[in-house]
Structure 1
Amino acid sequence: MTSLVLASASPARRRLLVAAGLEPSIVVSGVDESAVTAAARETYGELVAEDVALLLARAKAEDVADQIDDAVIIGCDSVLDLDGAIHGKPSSAAEAVSRWRQMRGRSGILHTGHWVVDTRDEDHGGTGATLGATASTTVHFAKLTDDEIDAYVETGEPLRVAGAFTLDGLGAPYVSSIEGDPSNVVGISLPLLRELLMELGLAWHDLRSSAHRGAQGAHVERA
């Protein structure tokens, strides 16, 4: 079995992968995101949101790849583009409240950068490849009242996630609709990751854990 390593502390990303049949190990990178983006801006000039997401995903994947041999490392990073302004995790409750007062009744684009590094030995099918791409999903936010915003921020959830909202948690009632891949908003685009892994010669069905393989064909009914 190919060893998959997720270079992220995000429980939501891990849950997505596990639900889709993969069992990644978790190794959190030590990347200083502010330093990486500052250095890139000094070299290349101003960056758009897609560039920031991909830059940080690559930095995280490559940082962990330097520590892990004979594995496929997956790095991700998400940012919200609201009228051209790039937003990651709010630094305080006050910032989260301010952010939501800007977002309510409007739309933003959630960009998630994905980067994959193959450190497997050649004898194990390794390619030595390092590649990535960004997935983007438009998110339409509900028209929240001030009381709703304050109550949501008090839960602490908006402080832990890029864009100050979730699609799979307490923030779900405050997202009116999306255009694009929902898994991307949760934190990792499963269709895009499938394509990147295929570039390494890895088929998703071959990576599924034995427990999930045994469950193939099981019938699930939804009331």
Structure 2
Amino acid sequence: MTSLVLASASPARRRLLAAAGLEPSVVVSNVDETAVTAAALETYGELVAEDVALVLARAKAEDVADQIDDAIIVGCDSVLDLDGEIHGKPSSPAEAISRWRQMRGRSGVLHTGHWVVDTRDEAQGGTGATLGATASTTVHFAKLTDDEIEAYVETGEPLRVAGAFTLDGLGAPYVIGIEGDPSNVVGISLPLLRELLMEVGLQWHELRTSAHQGAQGRRDS
């Protein structure tokens, strides 16, 4: 069986994978996002939003891959591009309120970087590959009132997610439409991940079968 490891603390990403038939284990990376971004800027110069997401996803996946053998490691990171400004998670309620006042009635692009590292043994089909890509989805926000913004921020949800909103939670009523892959907005693009896994010789249904067999084995033990 192939072990899939999600290098992310996001419960939404794990739920998406589980709903699609996979059962990843979770190992959260020790990556300092600020330091990684600063190092990338120094090395490559100015980065666009999709590059920032990919750099962070790679750092997270490779950090966990250094700790775990014989697995497929998946790292993700999401940022929101609003008029060329890059936004991750708000650092405070005040920042979340200010962000939503910018976003309301407008559109942004949610970029999620994905990085896959194959640490499986060669005898078990391992490739040693490390590769990634970014998925981008345009999000159209409702024109919220100040009261709605403040009430939403009071829930705490906007502080826990990139872009200060969710598509699958309390923020759903405030998103009036999207253009692109909805799973990407939730946190992990299932179609893109499928393509990346195929690059390392794995088909989605094989991982789904592996997850089912693992779950059955745990029930029988």
Q: TM-score range by the shorter chain?
A: over 0.9
Query: What is the match of residue 106 of structure 1?
Result: 106
Q: Is the 8 A contact 1:152 1:158 kept in 2?
A: yes
Answer yes or no: is 1:22 the counterpart of 2:22: yes
Q: Deviations over 1:122-170 (max 9, x none)?
A: 1110000000000000000000000000000000000000000000000
The gaps in structure 1 that reach 5 residues or longer are: 215-223
Query: What is the match of residue 126 of structure 2?
Result: 126
Alpha-carbon shift at residue 84 of structure 1 (Å): 0.2
Q: For residue 131 of structure 2, what is the amino acid of its counterpart?
A: L
The 1:191/1:212 distance shift into structure 2, 3 A limit, reads farther
Answer yes or no: is 1:210 the counterpart of 2:212: yes
SS of equivalent to 1:114: strand
The gaps in structure 2 that reach 5 residues or longer are: 217-221
SS of equivalent to 1:188: coil
Query: What is the match of residue 168 of structure 1?
Result: 168
SS of equivalent to 1:77: strand
Answer yes or no: is 1:159 the counterpart of 2:165: no
TM-score by length of structure 2 reads 0.95
Q: Distance in 2 between matches of 1:108 and 1:124?
A: 43
Q: Distance in 1 between matches of 2:200 and 2:45?
A: 32
Q: Distance in 2 between matches of 1:121 and 1:197?
A: 16
> 1:1-223 maps to which residues of 2 (within 5 A)?
1-208=1-208, 209-210=211-212
Q: Is the 8 A contact 1:21 1:212 kept in 2?
A: no
Alpha-carbon shift at residue 113 of structure 1 (Å): 0.1
Q: For residue 212 of structure 2, what is the amino acid of its counterpart?
A: S
The 1:123/1:59 distance shift into structure 2, 3 A limit, reads same
Structure that is richer in helix per residue: 2
Q: For residue 173 of structure 2, what is the amino acid of its counterpart?
A: P
The 1:2/1:212 distance shift into structure 2, 3 A limit, reads closer
Query: What is the match of residue 217 of structure 1?
Result: none
Q: Structure 1 residue runs of 4+, over 4 Å off?
A: 211-214
Q: Is the 8 A contact 1:8 1:28 kept in 2?
A: yes
Q: Distance in 2 between matches of 1:213 and 1:39?
A: 41
Alpha-carbon shift at residue 213 of structure 1 (Å): 11
Alpha-carbon shift at residue 211 of structure 1 (Å): 6.9
- Count matched residues: 214
TM-score by length of structure 1 reads 0.94
Alpha-carbon shift at residue 23 of structure 1 (Å): 0.5
What is the RMSD computed on CA atoms of the aligned residues? 1.3
The percentage of counterpart residues that share the same residue type is 88
Q: Distance in 2 between matches of 1:58 and 1:119?
A: 14
Q: For residue 153 of structure 1, what is the amino acid of its counterpart?
A: V
SS of equivalent to 2:110: strand
